[in-house]
A and B are shown apart, each in its own frame.
Chain A
Amino acid sequence: MELIEAIILAVLAASTPLLIAATGELVTERSGVLNLGVEGMMIVGAACGFAGAWLTGSIFIGALFGIVAGTLMSLVFALMTLGLAVNQVATGLALTILGIGLSGLIGAGFVGERITPAVHLHIPGLTDIPLIGRVLFGEDAFVYFSLALIVGVWWFLYRTRPGLILRACGDNHVSAHALGYPVLRIRTFAVMFGGACAGLAGAYLPLAYTPFFIPGMTAGRGWIALALVVFSSWRPGRLVVGAYLFGAVTILQLHAQGWGVGVPSQLMSALPYLATVIVLVLLSRARTGGSTAPAALGTVFVPDR
């Protein structure tokens, strides 16, 4: 019982940054922009988030620092790919490399410092229920926020007019422009939202997951988030399932070693990517028509005036 509860708690904690970052990237990609710089935006978010929390002593302000840092990083990306119509793949990769370097610089002075991590909810009675109590009522604010975020994004995309316009930009930017929608402005907002989410997801790591900052602490989570968006076939519902599945794989990998299961840890680490490839193959085989990916994804758009 204790072990199962501990595993579930660990899975939730490991999944949350994936879910937040992937939610942001889902919105970005739905608008037709492929930002491969998630890892870079996350790691800068982690460094700035820790710096903010350490300087002010407030986890909340730390999280805000992470959000602002991620947004600023994404604005660099937006300026390049939307303003100057540079190739999105190349810019995204460059953003990741920039982010890794930048976070090392920002975080250098904070390595070895510790903060008090984010508090967990405690409702007397409810939180003490065995097995599910701590899982449901004993999480930190990030976990609850991540779930609210994905529900909000689903509602926005499928139930509001701005969400419809955003999806339209991702499906066919020429048509959206012809109807008079400001494609580049809409995409800029989508990219900024993606950056804010990636920054927050990065900040979660030193603010709630571990109470300290180390360089490179995102350890490829940004790439997993990118894979997750594809895995979810750009649908919010499947994204939640995928995030917890991928989180579970990373935790199982740790426990499997503890239990002496003879699977190489490298293979376990590769599982999320492997799962994504398999899902892509299944999707393309099961497809009856229509495209699962936003049709304009990754393409440059220059409006004629």
Chain B
Amino acid sequence: MQTQQRLFGGALAVMLLAAACFAGGIAAAADGGDHFGIPQVKFINEQIAAGWADAGMQPSAAATDGEWCRRVFLDCIGRIPTSEELGRFLADSSPAKKADLVTRLLGEDYVDEYARNWTDVWTTVLIGRDVENDNVNRSGMRQWLRRAFSKNMPYDQFMEALVTASGANANKDGIENFNGATNFLSGKMEEGGVQAAAKTAQIFLGLQVQCTQCHNHPFNKGKQNQFWEFSAFFRQTRALRKYEQTMDIQSIEMVDEDFAGEGGNPEEAELYYELRNGLKKVAYPVFVDGTEISKSGYLPGKMDDGKEYGVHRRKELAQLMKGSPLMPKVIVNRMWAHFLGYGFTKPIDDLGEHNAPSNPELLDGLGAQFREQSFDLKELIKWITLSKPYSLSSKVSKGNTRDDPALGETPKFSHFYLRQMRAEELYESLLTATQADESRATGEKAAKKKDEWLGQFVIAFGTDEGDDSTTFNGSITQVLMMFNSELMKVATGTGKGGFLDRIASGNTKNAAKIDALYMAALARKPSAKEVSKANDLMIARKGDAIGALQDIWWAVLNSNEFIMNH
């Protein structure tokens, strides 16, 4: 059944792409041909446009070049462009300049920043925000993720490495078998790895199985036995804690061992789970599509006579996940939501049958294409960022006022959805806008500093599942930080040689200095009204030019326009 589905998904996408190419001439005339010669971009544009037609909606006008440039920097490398980067893009008159910029952002010039951004994103996905969790080593997780994104590891290998990782989770003196990928599961192995099973299914297959641990799910078709059969794949795995002399955790080592089974027969190593009525039932490893693997609890080995025995359950699981049609769809959905603000389902990691996607053909087609293009994340990013929906203004127009997912409507992507920067993006953008950190550090030291800063927003709920949340969500706490924090004092500092000092002491008129502040933060020039207000400040500061610029800069950085990706 699983193979059938996969073929169907692939065939469908090929058909749709063929149709897209066939209609090429007409479509090119209609949409100006701006798909940059990339069939997948064309496919997206046509699928989305069909949705507009069905809903009787008109897309908004295109975003300005400045808005688009700011957007694509934020989403690809996690910060706004510098004035120089923005200026270069605005001055470029080539029709291919958007494709050129995306290629540059995904290329060698920005490889460290690209890796830093996606390391931030995936650290939160894989181990949450809680910086005080002893069962993970955030630094180790990041080191592994940075390397994976620096070399653009194909997504199927990325997933396999995380699900099957063994070794020590921390990179410390005296540890020889460091493997940062182990941090994904190092804190999820208690009680036979039920959290490992739940999170693996959720993140990589889009299946929300946490409820079916205890009972058959009332809404989706998840059955309790499926949860335990899935969790059986993690029963050979143990997380061993090693302690320092201070009794702090030095590292956690993920190891695979023979699993004797709860009944004591390793040839058929079972586990037992309890039904609501108290009955015990048995479970062996079975994948979500019904594929069974060997029931043996032994790791692979050879008898003296050369006969092979045993099975590596997590490795088998990774192979089954690689083949699952759900795997590419979940990552396409996740990436689409990253760039467009909403995915094709809500939540993005629930692709269960009860939760139908808004654009099923597009999701299937992109998933199949992603598989065909060897799970290359940078290719997927290119398709999305060069698509028409990504190019639209965030200004709502007459033809699409109804398209507001914040009101619970299904997203039609007829305008760009306004959203707040993530805390990490804000932090990096402040450093960029103020050039507070010329080298734009991407290493572990900078990451730790950022972690300390992020810690002030984290709320841990203190359950076994490690749920957490953030107050960096438009709250008063966030506004107070933007108004008054140390970080803001640095960002608006007037010290010699700093950002404001260089602008203030430049050989330009006041108007040009105000322009420079606006371009650096908002990628636009000030309006007449804003110029007039800024001049009021110049007068109020009575000749203290840098003081006035500081006030303007503070206001610009505190604005909704700065903190929103728009």
Determine if chain A interacts with chain B.
Answer: no
Point out residues on A near B: beta carbons under 8 Å: none
Point out residues on B near A: beta carbons under 8 Å: none
